[in-house]
Amino acid sequence: MFDGKLSVILPAYNESHRIEENIQECCDTFSSLGYDYEIIVVDDGSSDSTHLRALGARSKEPGRVRIVRYEKNLGKGNALICGSAYASGDIVAFVDSDLELHPRQLPSFIETLVTKPCDVVIGSKLHPLSDVQYPKIRRLYSYCYYGLIRILFGLPIKDTQTGLKVFRREVLNDVLPRLLAKRFAFDIELLVNAFNRGFRLTDVPVTVRYSRSFGRIGIRDIAKIFIDTMAIFYRSKIIKYYDGVQANMSDLECVRSSRELFEYEIVA
């Protein structure tokens, strides 16, 4: 039984149509599970009213929900880094704000983390026990990318891109300041660095129900992911860039740039 505090990071971009309801759904879920928790919503430079709708959810759960916002869209990875810097929990969970992977699945992640010899638990769409309904073309992309990642980095997990992940806090404190990728390649850079620094990774099955017909990733994005992945290989295996990085969470630019607006939004 987990008796510590759980921090949940919800990155959001142009989710005004459902963000308030989804935040409340998260609060109801974690309360029913008996967790001591906080939810940190990071508005990644949305052009709609995402942060205002999120503040509506915060007004209903003032002790549980925090809102961080910056004006320029910098990518999901940047949002997760920024939210993690504000997290105070013993365990930190990444949850996509569209809730296609519902947070009611988190107990199996947390149980695995606290009872097994592991530091990072990843939801895997490719796990044989996963219940996944999503377009065949996305399934093909996942298998191809897994093959590439296995060859390049030898990670002991099959799926790096699923949005539901749970970390011991010390993993993120150690790894996040080393990262350069802030968009689609963020996940693989995070997990490669965690693995290379001796943290233990495992995966668990998930249930996925896609609410979008295809999602936001197009052909150009896939090409960019490939280029960024090869850049991570170069930094990790060739020039050993990550080994020489010395930084801490308070040094992160995303925290310094968001703090003033974050305080403004809370006062407002």
The pLDDT tens digits along the chain (268 residues) read 788 999 999 999 999 999 999 999 999 999 999 999 999 999 999 999 999 999 999 999 989 999 999 989 999 999 999 999 999 999 999 999 999 899 999 999 999 999 999 999 999 988 889 998 777 777 787 888 889 999 999 999 989 989 999 999 999 999 999 999 888 789 999 999 999 999 999 999 999 876 654 455 667 878 888 999 999 999 999 999 998 887 677 666 555 455 444 443 443 3
Cα 87 to Cα 83, 186, 201: the distances in Å are: 6, 19, 21
Which CATH number covers residue 163? Answer: 3.90.550.10
Are 92 and 50 a contacting pair, CB within 8 Å?
no
pTM value surpassing 0.85 = yes
Which of 171, 205, 163, 170 has the alpha carbon at shortest distance from 77? Answer: 163
Domain tally, the chain: 1
Q: Tokens at residue 26, please?
A: 């998260």
Domain interval for residue 112: 5-267
Q: How far apart are alpha carbons 248 and 259 in whole angstroms?
A: 16
126 neighbors 158 (Cβ within 8 angstroms): yes
**DSSP-derived secondary structure letter, 235:** I
What gap in Å lies between CA 266 and CA 66, rounded to an integer? 8
